[in-house]
Chains A and B, each alone.
Chain A
C-alpha cells in the first residue's frame, strides 16, 4: 500500500515529520517497507533567475547565461534552450547534482570553449513530465536560491505492508485512523454527502447470487464528460504507483485506495437489459481488463447483463464494458462480495488485483452507501452529469459484534499495565464503542466491558484482539521483559534417548573423518524410484517446484549420490559424506512414516597417491563395514551379536554387500559397494561404498543407572593359540569365528581371524582359515590337559561346520 504524505494529510491533521510518521507506523503494526522521497532525487537543484543571456561565441544554437541561484556570485551557464532569456526564473542543476531524467551527474565543464557551471533543466530532465522543448519556467516571484525540492513541495511516499487481517488499512483513511489513535494527529472525518438522484435508475439492478454477492448497490450518472482527471487526483494515484487513465476510472481507483472500498464504473451504453450478480456458467468466459480471457466455473460469482459476463465479481472488470473517453452515461457498482468466494475464485484463476485483495480480506459492509455517495459526488464534481436515484439490491451482512473485555487482561496477556482511561480512549479512537463499563455494571464484581467492534474490523472477535489493539497503540516497546520462572538448581536434562542417539552418531561419524551434508528431502522421481523397492510406495508431490524435487526420499543414499556426482564434477577425487535425516515412508491410514536414518557414502579414492604408498587406494566394502560397525557400536547396538546377512537390496553389488541384523528379521544397517548400474544412473564413474543405518531399529539402551557391571582385570596372563582349518570355500568366515567363540565361553574370550588363503596346498573348492584364539585363565594357570581339552572343543566346534584342522 503506497500513498503520499499529502494524501495521508487529507485524512490526518498532523504536524508530525515523515520520520515520526514512519516510526509510528512501524510501532503500531503497519510495517513501513520503504519511504520514497522525491526530494532525494532533486538534491542539488535550485530555483534560479537568469540575469543575462548572450549568444555563445562559438555556437549558433547555444547561449551563455549568467544565473543567480542564491550564491554569492552569479554563475555562468551554457544553455541550448530556445526559451532561455534574461529575467526568467527556472531550475538550475549545480555541479554534482544527478539529473533525475537522465541519471548522469552534472560537472563543471567547458562547452565549445565557454565555462559552464551547471544546467538549466527541462521538465523531462527533472522527471516531472514529458516536456522537453525548453527549460522549465517558474513564476517570476519564485524564491531565487530556494532548493527546488522545497519549492516544488516534493511529496514523500510511504510504502506500507498491510497484514491480511487489516482490510481497513487497505485505504489511506484507515491508516490515518490508526495513526490518530496512536496520538499522531487528528482524524479528519469522512465527508460523504449523499447526492440525491434526479430520476429513477434506468437500469434494473439485482443480485441472483445472494451468497456470493449479498448486496449490489448502484446508480446511473448520465451526461458525464470523461477525460483526464485533475492534477490533485493524478498526483495521489501516481504516489500509489498507479497510472492515471481517465477521470471515471481514476475516481473509482481513488475511492478504493482512499477508503478501501473497491467499485466499478460501467459504460451504460455497452450494457443491455438488466445488470445483476449471478453464478458463472461452467466454462463461461470473460475477457478481463488485463486483456486475458478467463474460463469460469459455477463456483464463481460474476456481474452480467442479458448478453453475458461483464465483470469477474470483486476481482476484475471486463474489457468490453469499461469506461472510455467517449463514455457519457455510467453505471456505478458498489457491492459486497463474500470474502471466501473471492479468495477461491482468485486462486482458481490465479488472478490478483487491488479489488480482490480488499474483498478477500473483507471490506467494510457498512460502507456501501458512503462509498456510492463519495463516488457520485466526485464524478459529478469532476465529470459533470446527473445522477439517478440509487438502487439497493440485497443487504450487506452487517452483524454487530460484541466482545466482553476485562481491561485487566491487557496486563495479564500483554504484560503491561495500561490505565483504563487510556484503554478506553484508544478503543474509541479506533472506532470501538464501549457500551458499559465497570462503573455501571450490574454485578459489582464484574470488571468486564462490553465492546462493540466497528464494521471495518472483521479481524476482531475476542478479548485478546482488544488486548492487541490497546497494547500495540500503547507501544510494544513499553513492555518490560519478565524472566520466565525457572526451576531451582541446575537445569534438568531434556534430550530424549532418540535425540541423544542422533547427536552422538552425528559427531561419531564426523570424528571418523566424514563430512555431514544436508540434502533435499525431495528427489527426482526416477532417482527415488531406484530406492523405492520394498518401501511401500513413494510420497510424490502434486505441485513440485521442479521435476528434480518431486518425490520424498525413501532412502538417504540418492541425495548423497547426487552430491557425490556434483563434487566429482568439481574435480574432487575422494569423498566421504554422510547425512542424518528422515526417510519418508507410507504409514498406517494415510499417515506419514518418517524414520530417522544415517546414510553414508565413501566414493572414489580412499587415500590419494603418496610418497610412501605409491598408488591411490580405493574404498571397498570393508570400509563400509568398518563405518557401519563403528557407528552401531557408538549407538550402543550389540555389535558382537549381529549377524551379517544378505539382501542389502538391488542398489548394491550383489556379491559385495550385506545387512547387519539383530536376529534374522531386524535389519539395523545395510552396507557394501553400490551396484555399477545404479552409479551409472547417477552419472558417477568411480566405485562407491555406502552404508545406511536405520536408527529406529536400534534397540534403546536399558540401563537406568550410571554404574557399570563390575570388572577387575584378570591377574593371570591370557594364552594365545593359533588354529588353521580347511573349510568349504563357500563357508562364511564369520560362521567359523562365531562357532569357535561360542564353544567354550568360560575360556575363549576372543577369536581373531588372521588368514584367509586359497591356492597352493589347499584343495580346489576349499580355503584355509586361520584364527588366533585368546584363552583367559581364571583362578589358576592352565595345565597341559586343560589346554588340550579346550583345543578339542575348538576343533570340535569347527568340525561341525565341516572344518578340518590342518596338520
Chain B
C-alpha cells in the first residue's frame, strides 16, 4: 500500500478544512474508531512479525503526521477565529474613562501638619485649648487686666450673661496665648509646645476675617533667653519655607504677656509684584514684612501658670497660620479660605498623600 499517497491526500484535505466542524469530521474520518487510519492500525494484528516490523512504523508515522496536521490546523483556525472576534471588539479609547473624584486637604490643615512636623523635630508637642474661653485665661492671666489699654487692641467677641465658674465673662479667645497658661497649669515645666487653632476678633476686610488661625509657641525651661527665641524662629522659618536665606529682623515691641517683647520682620524680595521671602530686607529690591509677635514670657504670666519665675523662664511667639499659608502657597485673599468654594479647594487644596515629612521636605510644590 502506498502510505505516502494516503498521507499526502489526508494532509491536503486537512489544510483545506475551513472551520473547526470540517476539521472534526476529518479527524473522525481518519482517526476515529471507524477511521481509515485507525483501520490500517487494526490490520497490523493479522500480519506476520516480519511484515509488522516493516509496515508498523510506516502506519504509525502516517497516523502521527495526520494527527499533528489536525492539531496544527485546529490551532490555526482557532487563532483566526479569535483574531476575528477581537477585531469586532475594538473600543474607541479616546472616550473618557470613569472619573474618580479627587479629594483635597485644606491649606490651613496642610500648613498645621507642616508646623507640627517641623516643631516635633525640635521637641515641641502640639497642645490645644478651648476656643470659648473665660476672661481670666484670655486676658487676666496674660497680664491684661480689665483696665489695660491693650484690651482695646483686641476686638473681642463676648457671650452675654455667660459666666465662667470664676464669675468672669466668657468670650471667644482672641489669640492662642491662653493655651500657654493651660499648658503650664496642666504640665508644669519644662514645656515645649505649639498650639495651633482658631482665634476670633471682631474685624473684617480683605486681610482680616473675624475668624482666623494662629499658632502659639511656648518654651519654658531653665536658662532660656532671647537668643534661643531668635534661633527657634529662624530654624522654623528656614524649614517651613525650605530656604536657607531667610533673614529676620527683631524689633522691640509691646505685648502685655512678654517682657522683653519682640516683633519679628522677615526680609523679602519683590518678584513680579509678589513677595518672595528670603534675603535681607535692607538689600536693594527687598523689604521687611511684619510676620510675628514674640518675647520672653512675663513673670506674672509664669506665676499665673503656677510656676516660679525665679526658677523658670522662656519665650513665646504667635503667628498667623493662614498668613503663613498665603505667603508659602501664594493665595492673596484670606476670605476665600472660609468660603468652601470647590473650585478654590481643588486649586489650592492638597493631595491627601502629600503628608508632610522631614525626609521629603514639609512643603508641596505644584
Complex CA–CA separation, A483 to B204 (angstroms): 39
- Mark contacts of B340-355 with chain A using CB atoms, 8 A cut-off: 1 yes-contact digit, 0 otherwise: 1111011001011101
Question: A339-B147, A480-B227, A584-B131 are known contacts. Are A491 and B164 too (CB-CB below 8 A)?
Answer: no
Question: A347-B152, A472-B260 are known contacts. Are A481 and B211 too (CB-CB below 8 A)?
Answer: no
Please state if B159 and A491 are interface contacts (CB–CB under 8 Å).
no
Contacts of A459 in B (CB 8 A): 254
Residue of A nearest to B256 (CB): A165
- Mark contacts of B168-208 with chain A using CB atoms, 8 A cut-off: 1 yes-contact digit, 0 otherwise: 00101000000000000000000010000010101110000
Stretch in contact with the other chain, from B19-27, B28-36, B116-124, B270-278: B116-124
Say yes or no for B299: interface residue by CB 8 A criterion. Answer: yes
Residue of A nearest to B201 (CB): A545
Contacts of A472 in B (CB 8 A): 252, 260
- Mark contacts of A407-427 with chain B using CB atoms, 8 A cut-off: 1 yes-contact digit, 0 otherwise: 000011111100000000000
Contacts of A479 in B (CB 8 A): 226-227, 230, 250
Contacts of A513 in B (CB 8 A): 100-103
Residue of A nearest to B230 (CB): A481
Please state if B262 and A486 are interface contacts (CB–CB under 8 Å).
no
By Cβ-Cβ distance, the 6 closest A-B pairs, closest first, are A563-B340, A29-B252, A415-B227, A513-B101, A592-B132, A163-B254
Please state if A612 and B254 are interface contacts (CB–CB under 8 Å).
no
Please state if B223 and A412 are interface contacts (CB–CB under 8 Å).
yes
Contacts of B225 in A (CB 8 A): 411-415, 482
Please state if A476 and B132 are interface contacts (CB–CB under 8 Å).
no
Please state if B103 and A576 are interface contacts (CB–CB under 8 Å).
yes
Question: A31-B251, A416-B227 are known contacts. Are A543 and B158 too (CB-CB below 8 A)?
Answer: yes
Question: A494-B126, A584-B131 are known contacts. Are A26 and B104 too (CB-CB below 8 A)?
Answer: no
Contacts of A215 in B (CB 8 A): none
Say yes or no for A682: interface residue by CB 8 A criterion. Answer: no
Quick one: which of B104, B130, B299, B346 contacts A594, CB cutoff 8 A? B130
Please state if B228 and A484 are interface contacts (CB–CB under 8 Å).
yes
Contacts of A27 in B (CB 8 A): 251-252
Please state if B163 and A590 are interface contacts (CB–CB under 8 Å).
yes
Say yes or no for A55: interface residue by CB 8 A criterion. Answer: no
Say yes or no for B106: interface residue by CB 8 A criterion. Answer: yes
Question: Chain A nearest CB: distance from B105 CB in Å?
Answer: 5
Say yes or no for B287: interface residue by CB 8 A criterion. Answer: no
Complex CA–CA separation, A521 to B172 (angstroms): 10
Say yes or no for B298: interface residue by CB 8 A criterion. Answer: yes
28 interchain pairs, CB-CB under 8 A: A31-B253, A164-B153, A413-B260, A414-B260, A415-B225, A464-B260, A464-B298, A468-B252, A476-B251, A484-B123, A484-B192, A487-B123, A499-B116, A506-B109, A507-B355, A510-B351, A514-B101, A514-B103, A516-B105, A543-B202, A562-B340, A566-B339, A567-B340, A570-B343, A572-B342, A577-B340, A594-B132, A611-B96
Complex CA–CA separation, A521 to B198 (angstroms): 9
Question: Chain A nearest CB: distance from B270 CB in Å?
Answer: 18
Say yes or no for A177: interface residue by CB 8 A criterion. Answer: no
Contacts of B113 in A (CB 8 A): 503
User: Which of B103, B254, B349 neighbours the largest number of chain A CB atoms within 10 Å of its CB?
Assistant: B103
- Mark contacts of A350-372 with chain B using CB atoms, 8 A cut-off: 1 yes-contact digit, 0 otherwise: 00000000001100000000000
- Mark contacts of A541-553 with chain B using CB atoms, 8 A cut-off: 1 yes-contact digit, 0 otherwise: 1111100010010
Contacts of B125 in A (CB 8 A): 494-496
Question: Chain B nearest CB: distance from A97 CB in Å?
Answer: 26
Please state if A591 and B263 are interface contacts (CB–CB under 8 Å).
no
Say yes or no for B259: interface residue by CB 8 A criterion. Answer: yes
Please state if B120 and A576 are interface contacts (CB–CB under 8 Å).
no
Say yes or no for A512: interface residue by CB 8 A criterion. Answer: yes
Question: A413-B296, A477-B250, A482-B227 are known contacts. Are A521 and B131 too (CB-CB below 8 A)?
Answer: yes
Please state if B249 and A477 are interface contacts (CB–CB under 8 Å).
yes
Complex CA–CA separation, A707 to B71 (angstroms): 57
A interface list, Cβ under 8 A from B = 26-29, 31, 163-166, 339-340, 343-344, 347, 360-361, 411-416, 459, 462, 464-465, 467-468, 471-472, 476-477, 479-484, 486-487, 491-496, 499, 503, 506-522, 539-545, 549, 552, 559-560, 562-564, 566-567, 570, 572, 575-577, 580-582, 584, 589-592, 594, 607, 610-612
Inter-chain pairs besides A31-B253, A522-B211, A542-B157, 12 sampled, C-beta below 8 Å: A163-B253, A339-B149, A415-B230, A471-B252, A476-B226, A482-B227, A491-B120, A513-B102, A516-B104, A539-B159, A541-B158, A610-B96
Complex CA–CA separation, A344 to B147 (angstroms): 7
Complex CA–CA separation, A320 to B219 (angstroms): 57
Complex CA–CA separation, A278 to B134 (angstroms): 35
Question: A503-B113, A507-B355 are known contacts. Are A476 and B262 too (CB-CB below 8 A)?
Answer: yes
Please state if A484 and B116 are interface contacts (CB–CB under 8 Å).
no
Complex CA–CA separation, A479 to B262 (angstroms): 12
Question: Chain A nearest CB: distance from B338 CB in Å?
Answer: 6
Please state if A464 and B120 are interface contacts (CB–CB under 8 Å).
no
Question: A506-B109, A513-B101 are known contacts. Are A343 and B152 too (CB-CB below 8 A)?
Answer: yes
Complex CA–CA separation, A570 to B249 (angstroms): 44
Contacts of A165 in B (CB 8 A): 254
For chain B, give the interface size range: 35 or more
Say yes or no for B231: interface residue by CB 8 A criterion. Answer: yes
Complex CA–CA separation, A163 to B211 (angstroms): 24
Please state if B106 and A517 are interface contacts (CB–CB under 8 Å).
yes
Question: A471-B226, A495-B126 are known contacts. Are A584 and B103 too (CB-CB below 8 A)?
Answer: no
Please state if B116 and A539 are interface contacts (CB–CB under 8 Å).
no
Residue of B nearest to A578 (CB): B103
Contacts of B147 in A (CB 8 A): 339-340, 343-344
Question: A479-B250, A611-B95 are known contacts. Are A521 and B200 too (CB-CB below 8 A)?
Answer: yes
Question: Chain A nearest CB: distance from B179 CB in Å?
Answer: 13
Quick one: which of B98, B134, B219 contacts A612, CB cutoff 8 A? B98
Residue of A nearest to B107 (CB): A518
Say yes or no for B210: interface residue by CB 8 A criterion. Answer: yes
Contacts of B263 in A (CB 8 A): 31
Please state if A515 and B158 are interface contacts (CB–CB under 8 Å).
no
Question: Chain A nearest CB: distance from B246 CB in Å?
Answer: 12
Say yes or no for B139: interface residue by CB 8 A criterion. Answer: no
User: Which of A494, A582, A594 neighbours the largest number of chain B CB atoms within 10 Å of its CB?
Assistant: A494
Question: Chain B nearest CB: distance from A633 CB in Å?
Answer: 16
Please state if A590 and B164 are interface contacts (CB–CB under 8 Å).
yes
- CB interface residues, B 77-129, toward A, < 8 Å: 95-96, 98-106, 108-109, 113, 116, 120-126
Say yes or no for B150: interface residue by CB 8 A criterion. Answer: yes
Question: A511-B103, A516-B106 are known contacts. Are A540 and B342 too (CB-CB below 8 A)?
Answer: no
Question: A481-B231, A516-B109 are known contacts. Are A549 and B160 too (CB-CB below 8 A)?
Answer: no
Question: Chain A nearest CB: distance from B159 CB in Å?
Answer: 6
Please state if B219 and A484 are interface contacts (CB–CB under 8 Å).
yes
- Mark contacts of B228-250 with chain A using CB atoms, 8 A cut-off: 1 yes-contact digit, 0 otherwise: 11111011000000000000011
Question: Chain A nearest CB: distance from B213 CB in Å?
Answer: 8
Please state if B123 and A481 are interface contacts (CB–CB under 8 Å).
no
Say yes or no for B317: interface residue by CB 8 A criterion. Answer: no
Contacts of A508 in B (CB 8 A): 352
Contacts of A480 in B (CB 8 A): 227, 230
Residue of B nearest to A463 (CB): B299
Complex CA–CA separation, A27 to B282 (angstroms): 13
Contacts of B338 in A (CB 8 A): 518-520
Contacts of B352 in A (CB 8 A): 506-508, 510-511
Residue of B nearest to A464 (CB): B259
Residue of B nearest to A503 (CB): B113
Contacts of B100 in A (CB 8 A): 513
Contacts of A28 in B (CB 8 A): 252
Please state if A506 and B105 are interface contacts (CB–CB under 8 Å).
yes
Complex CA–CA separation, A495 to B193 (angstroms): 11
Contacts of B296 in A (CB 8 A): 413, 464
Complex CA–CA separation, A202 to B253 (angstroms): 47
Question: Chain A nearest CB: distance from B144 CB in Å?
Answer: 11
Quick one: which of B122, B132, B259 contacts A486, CB cutoff 8 A? B122
